[in-house]
Amino acid sequence: MSEAALLEAAAKADLEQAAGRAGVADAGLGSLTTIGCGGTAALMIEAVDAVHLSAILAAIQRHSLPWFVLGLGSNLLVADAGWPGVVIKLTDDLKSVSIRGNRLRCGAGAALSMTTAAARSAGLTGLEPLAGIPGTVGGAVAMNAGAFGASIGALVESLEICLPGEAITQNRDMLKFGYRSAALPPGGVVSRAVLLLTPADPAAVAARMREVRARRETSQPAGRSCGSVFRNPGPDAGAGLSAGQLLDEAGCKGMTQGGAAVSSRHANFIVNAGGARTADVLELMNRCRRRVFERTGIVLEPEVRLVGPIGLEPLS
């Protein structure tokens, strides 16, 4: 039975009416992820603005459907069996970026590459550490993405958040960001973010972005991957060591499984060397995680989001 067949016709019609456009049944997700593997979704639906996104979330709630928002597909691992629910794509107004003074008003579906380019052109500093990260503003905010000692949460002045049937705004004093996390209302989706940046020399901003990209290209593998696989452990557990260091010291670099391989450049990256399945990636994650645990007693937790009927093996 296809994933689409699991979604009742009435639910599909309700979702499409809420979106104001047709959805795509049995939508392939593998090609939409940066690692390039995974099955299909029952339905993919587009949200063009906050009004339609709130309506889609309300329809999802009415039919008790599983769902998630798909950005550019980084930091995501979809089960080979697929996803028996709804995938929401943000488009049109929710992909726009505008500048007002030293504020960037960004749709959550806007690519970080477009957002950092807008800041560079306007001579606004603050986003340089995110240069080269293959994600969207919404995904970056939801997981408080960061690099080189900086995180996007520190730049957020306000968020527009869509809930079933309504959109709310939360200002800086209402927001709480943690390591790779943001405390958002349950069931809420970031639809727009206002980032408060600092005026600077455009040439200096551009130079810093080139430096960040060069460092990223030097330390991270080329090719298809889902980005960092595991979170860095807390300071108490890992004594300041990164997940990459722990995996490297456990001898994980170069390990292979099917078409997947642990990068020889950075041990916290698993690459699709050709024809990898999600099952291959998961098996490598389990093997790497167990090596680190047996060597150090540290339990690495995934940074990549696991979607569908998949999970990591327990450690004991």
Residues 262 and 314 sit within 8 Å (Cβ to Cβ) = no
Query: Would residue 21 show up in a list of annotated catalytic residues for this protein?
Result: no
Catalytic residue among 3, 46, 158, 180: 180
Catalytic residue among 54, 151, 228, 263: 228
Query: Would residue 303 show up in a list of annotated catalytic residues for this protein?
Result: yes
Q: Where are the alpha helices (DSSP H) in 65-221?
A: 112-122, 137-142, 202-219
Residue the block writes with tokens 């699991």: 6
Query: Would residue 180 show up in a list of annotated catalytic residues for this protein?
Result: yes
Determine the Cα–Cα distance for residues 179 and 48; give it in Å rounded to an integer: 30
Determine the Cα–Cα distance for residues 76 and 83; give it in Å rounded to an integer: 13
Catalytic residue among 208, 283, 303, 305: 303
Residues 223 and 32 sit within 8 Å (Cβ to Cβ) = no
Q: Please calculate the CA angle 311-5-72 and round it to the nearest 5 degrees.
A: 50
Q: Where are the alpha helices (DSSP H) in the chain?
A: 9-19, 50-62, 112-122, 137-142, 202-219, 235-238, 243-249, 278-296
Determine the Cα–Cα distance for residues 88 and 74; give it in Å rounded to an integer: 15
The set of catalytic residues is: 180, 228, 303
